[in-house]
Structure 1
C-alpha cells in the first residue's frame, strides 16, 4: 500500500482520550472519500492505523479517533506542520438513496457518521457515550448531531444510560435502513435485537486492521468480506 504525504493542520483534544485531526493531502487523491470509507493513516516510524473519514472537503480530510494504543498515542502527539501518510480511500461507499436511515453509534463509533452528516439532512438515531462531556463538545463541532438521541452513562448529557437502553425509542419502519458502528459487544447486542425482530435491513460499519489495502493479505477479513475492498458495510449476520 502506498501513502500520500499529508500535512497536519490541527489535532485537537476533543475530550479525554478523544481527538480530531485535520490534514491537507499534499498530492491529489484519485477519488473523493465518501461515507463510510476509511483510510490507513501512517505515523512514520510507529504504526499504521485504519480510521474512518469524518471530514472530506477537497484536499482537506479529518479523522475522529480515540487513543487506545501506541499508534493512536503517537498520532495524538502530532501537531500543526507535521507530516504523516494517508492512504487512498478504502472500502466501498454506501449512501442510502431515497430511503429512511437510522444511525446507532457507540463511543468513537460515531466517526463514520460524521461524514454522513454531509449527505443526510436530518439524521435520526442514538449515540451512546460514557462521558456526556464528550457528546457536548462534539455537538459543538457538528451541530447536526443535535438531532440524534444521546445516551450518556454518567447521566450528564441527554438521556441517562446506554445506547441499548434507547434503541426502541427510534421509530423504524419496514423501509428503514439501520447503520451500526461501535464496540463489538454493543454491535452484537443490537444485531441480536434486530434478528429477534426479523428485521433484515440492519448493517454494521465494521472496523479491522488493514495492511495491504488491496485484498491480498486477508488481515481485514470479516466473515467472507474483505473490508478494504468490499466493506466496511457488512450484514448484521456477521456479528450474531
Structure 2
C-alpha cells in the first residue's frame, strides 16, 4: 500500500477507511491531497477484498473545510479552468462513478470543496456538529468541482440557489431535512454507524451494486437514457455468477455467498 502525506488508509472487515489528515488546515484540499485521494480510491476500488469505502476527516472539527485557497489565489482564467477540469476528472467525477460504494462520514465542517467531495460520494452520514455550505461566492468565485450541479440534484434547485447565493452554512439537521445527508449521528458514534451500514452493503452482490451505481448515475447525465441504462445493466446481471448464486440461495432458503463475479 502506498505511503501518503495528507491522508491515511485503514482496512477492516472488507471496508477501507480513507481519512484526510491535514488538521492544521482543517483538512483543506490542496492539489497533492486530491492526487493522493485519487490514488487511494483507485487502489481500493481495484482490490477485490474491499467492498465499501468510508471517507472522513481527521479530528473532530472538520471533514474538509474547503479548498486550500492559498494555492490558487493568484491564478489566471486559464489556470482556474484547468484547476476545475483536473480536479473533476481526478477526484470528484472519479468518486461518483466508482464501482465500490463510497460513504462520506461528515464529521464537522464540509465547506466548498469539502461539501463538493461529500456530494460526489454515493451518500452521506453527518455527525450532529457538522456544518455544510458552499461559501465560494463570498470569495468572488462560483462553486467548482461539481458544486453547482450536484447540490441541486440532492436538495432541489431553489434550496441550492439559496445556499449558493447566501454562501451560508446549514447544520446537520437542516442538511438531513433537505436530503443532503441520510442520517445524523452523535460524533463519537459516526464511524461505527457508517461501518454498520457498510457491513450491510457488503453482504450484497458487489457486481450488482456496481451496476446499480452506473444505472442511477446515468439518469443524471446529459444525453444519457437512465431507463435504457437500467435495462441493459439488469440484463447483464443475468450473465453473472453473483446472479446464479443469489437466485440459487434464495430458492434453497439459505444466505447467499457472492463470488463477486
TM-score, scaled relative to structure 1: 0.26
Bigger relative contact order, structure 1 or 2 (CA pairs below 8 A, ≥6 apart): 1
